[in-house]
Structure 1
Amino acid sequence: MSDRGVLITFEGIDGCGKSTQLRLAKDWLCSNGVSCLATHEPGATPLGREIRQLLLASGRHVTAEAELLLFLADRAQHVREQLAPALVHNRVVLCDRYSDSTHAYQMAARKLGQDERMLALLAFAECGVHPDLTLWFDVSVDVAWHRMQQRQKNGGEHSRFDLEARSFHQRVAEGFAQLARQYPDRIRRIDASQGIEHVHCQVRMEIESFLEARG
């Protein structure tokens, strides 16, 4: 095993099931004696929780530019307070959303673009902490939309992103697909249209393969 930990990110459109799969992956890794940290963005730190409230409150208007900067402020704190220390201590870090979500949601769906200014801001927030493996939970917008509606009916958390038009979520999905084409060595596609156990098997296979190859 390397003397540095591993950062595995779980990405996809809202309703893809990644958060459930992250919890299952953590339980599986811990049961096998792997030291791991399960975390998420936004809101994994005390400061981040305050930022999360600003970002996700459904009655609040936030411009695309302000949204980007708030997410990056959350990430800057998250990296320095949790991710970097865990990686230094050789832990496997499972993170629900990270930099690819910024590309898909703010740069693609919000149409902020990926010019040098944007990429410089992203790099500044990440401080050299990049994903080693990304699991992209690919599911159609229709399936994800249905899952989000069911989640809201069951009293689950919802945000102003859930209120966006389908066209917005379609742009997010296209943003993730573009990233997968751009970084095929890092991003692994998971067919998230299947049942929970079937998807979990895919996740285990990808993580096992990655960790074995890493040595």
Structure 2
Amino acid sequence: MSGYFITLEGIDGCGKTTQRRLSAGWLREQGHEVVETFEPGDTVLGREIRALLLGGAHVPAAETELLLFLADRTQHVREVILPALERGAVVLCDRYTDSTRAYQLAGRALDASVLEAMLTIAELGTVPQLTLWFDLPVAAAFERMRSRVAGGEAASRFDAEHQAFHERVRQGFSAIHAAQPQRVQRVDASGDAQSIQQQVRALLGRYLA
């Protein structure tokens, strides 16, 4: 596998999707083939799973939610991520296994030993070489989410979660960063898009050199 797998993580409203797009453009200018992707929902099957997960019509049990995310991931790795890596592309993935750890383990308080075993199965041995964690206080993220909705963007079921849930998720990401500081690099996401992008480019330049 000759490509490079980079994941972008953080609480809702942290700005990682904008940074994925900016980073992809910059990396293409540097001569890289870049595949932009995301979870959940970047396969045909995944789009159906995404509708179940993020729509508000049905609220799944925490365990059901986990299994749906993992089903989406396995299909995503098999259809999108592995083929791109095998041909040497840089894959920028908006959410991956660390989101499951932060949202389902820290946020939903699911059993850690069971969760880790299932994550190992779902990712098919495909672990990111670099994870960019966009860290932002929850209050600031809520402001951004409110602005997005006011601008006409549909809110997801996770946007409607109470603040304490998002605080637990942020703490979950912080714990992952503390446990794996080489792979997981913290990006201060409190500034504007360009200042955040400068941090990202510095990290990408270091890891992809």
1:67 to 59, 65, 83: 65
Give the equivalent residue in structure 1 for 2:39. Answer: 41
Identity across matched positions, percent: 51
Tell me if structure 2 keeps the 8 A contact 1:100–1:179: yes
CA drift at 1:120: 1.4
Secondary structure at the residue paired with 2:168? Answer: helix
- Any residues of structure 2 matched to 1:81-96 within 5 Å, and which? 81-96=79-94
- The match for 1:194 is 191
Q: Which runs of 5+ in 1 are unaligned?
A: none
Aligned length: 209
Q: Return the alpha-carbon distance in structure 2 between the equivalents of residues 194 and 183 of structure 1.
A: 25
Match of 1:113 in 2: 111
Deviation for aligned residue 1:60: 1.7
| 2:11 corresponds to 1:13 | yes
1:72 maps to amino acid: L
The 5 A counterparts of 1:175-214 are 175-212=172-209
Structure 2 runs not aligned, ≥5 long: none
Cα contact 1:59–1:160 (8 A) shared by 2: no
Deviation at 1:157, TM superposition (A): 3.3
Between the aligned partners of 1:43 and 1:183, the Cα distance in structure 2 is: 27
CA distance in 1: counterparts of 2:194 and 2:8, whole angstroms: 16
1:125 matches 2:126: no
What residue number does 1:57 align with?
55
- What is the DSSP-based 3-state SS (H/G/I as helix, E as strand, rest coil) of the residue aligned with 1:161? coil
In structure 2, distance between residues paired with 1:131 and 1:138: 18
Q: Spell out, residue by residue over 1:133-179, the C-alpha distance to the aligned partner (whole angstroms, 9 max, x if none).
A: 00000000000010001101101132110111000000000000000
Residue type matched to 1:123 in 2? Answer: T
Aligned to 2:97: 99
TM-score (norm 1): 0.96
The root-mean-square deviation of aligned C-alpha atoms, in Å, is 0.8
| Separation (CA, whole Å) in 2 of partners of 1:130 and 1:146 | 32
Any conservation in 2 of the 1:180–1:189 contact (CA below 8 Å)?
A: yes
| Counterpart residue number, 2:147 | 150
Residue 80 of structure 1 is aligned with which of 78, 81, 85? 78
How far off its partner does 1:58 sit?
A: 1.8
